[in-house]
């Protein structure tokens, strides 16, 4: 993403410059596919960089909401909760909320 020919500048990106938006979007999409995350950050000169995952500390990850889980069969909802790293107690609490809502 940071070749001299393809340098992305924050001013252009934020002003709606289509080639800049396309380049940043493509870099972010490739990173999401490869690592599951994409972090773009500007330096003091306004150049935009795609940071490697090890450069940031993830304190919380996006979570699937109860409303979204409730639309799925119970087994599928449990599988998603396990995939997002929920502990057994948390899953049991969700199942109680789910049963109370139905």
Indicate whether 81 and 39 sit together in one domain: no
pLDDT at 16: 95
Pair 84, 61: CB distance under 8 Å: yes
Burial of 11 (0-12, 13-18, 19+ CB in 10 A): exposed
Angle between helices 74-83 and 88-101 (to 10 degrees): 150
> What is the chain's Cα-based Rg?
19
Q: Quick: pLDDT tens for 50-95.
A: 999 899 998 888 999 999 999 999 999 999 999 999 999 999 999 9
Residue range 19-48: average pLDDT? Answer: 94
61 belongs to a structural domain: no
48 belongs to a structural domain: yes
pTM strictly above 0.75: no
pLDDT at 4: 45
Q: Which domain holds residue 94?
A: 66-101
51 belongs to a structural domain: yes
pLDDT at 98: 95
Strands (E), 25-98: 39-42, 48-51
């Amino acid at each position: 993403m940071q070749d001299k020919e393809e340098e992305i500048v924050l001013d252009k990106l934020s002003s709606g410059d289509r080639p800049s938006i396309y380049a940043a979007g493509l870099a972010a999409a490739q990173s999401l596919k490869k690592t599951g995350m994409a972090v773009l950050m500007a330096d003091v000169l306004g150049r935009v960089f795609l940071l490697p995952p090890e450069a940031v500390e993830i304190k919380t990850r996006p979570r699937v909401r109860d409303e979204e889980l409730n639309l799925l069969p119970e087994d599928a909802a449990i599988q998603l909760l396990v995939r997002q790293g929920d502990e057994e107690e948390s899953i049991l609490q969700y199942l109680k909320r789910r049963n109370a809502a139905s």
